[in-house]
């Protein structure tokens, strides 16, 4: 089956620093990737849609200057949390959409803790 990886799986950073999270589709090409965040015991909330070679589309209420998304190739998208604050602490999950079936495959998630 299709595999999506995320790196790192867990990161702790100090308030004010920036953190980059990578999302890779390992055995298929993904023209579209999605970034979600999930707070404890809550469902996934879509943050932005990342399209290869173009600007990301952000959901309402998500600051594009704070959550920078780059989708430079068909297998890699990155999310950079800039000037992180404790309220940015969350579980960030990416998904990659198979261009043939439109099924989404999810990464294992990245636990971000901002101290």
List residues binding other proteins (CB under 8 A). 6, 34, 43-46, 49, 91, 93, 95, 101-109, 111
Separation between Cα atoms, residue 66 and residue 83, nearest integer Å:
7
State which residue, 57 or 80, has the beta carbon closest to other proteins. Answer: 57
Separation between Cα atoms, residue 86 and residue 27, nearest integer Å:
35
User: Cα angle at 75 between 73 and 80, to 5 degrees?
Assistant: 75
CB 16 → other proteins: shortest distance, Å? Answer: 26
CB 9 → other proteins: shortest distance, Å? Answer: 10
State which residue, 67 or 105, has the beta carbon closest to other proteins. Answer: 105
CB 56 → other proteins: shortest distance, Å? Answer: 12
CB 37 → other proteins: shortest distance, Å? Answer: 12
State which residue, 18 or 101, has the beta carbon closest to other proteins. Answer: 101
Phi, psi for residue 57 in degrees, rounded to 5: -105, 120
State which residue, 82 or 91, has the beta carbon closest to other proteins. Answer: 91
Separation between Cα atoms, residue 15 and residue 79, nearest integer Å:
17
């Amino acid at each position: 089956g299709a595999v999506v990886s995320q790196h790192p799986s867990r990161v702790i950073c100090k308030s004010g620093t920036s953190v980059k999270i990578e999302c890779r589709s390992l055995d298929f090409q993904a023209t579209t990737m999605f970034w979600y965040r999930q707070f404890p015991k809550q469902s996934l909330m879509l943050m932005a849609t990342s399209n290869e070679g173009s600007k990301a589309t952000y959901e309402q209420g998500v600051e594009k200057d704070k959550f920078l998304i780059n989708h430079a190739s068909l297998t890699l998208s990155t999310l950079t949390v800039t000037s992180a604050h404790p309220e940015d602490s969350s579980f960030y999950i990416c998904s990659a959409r198979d261009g043939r079936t439109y099924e989404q495959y999810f990464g294992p998630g990245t636990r971000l803790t901002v101290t």
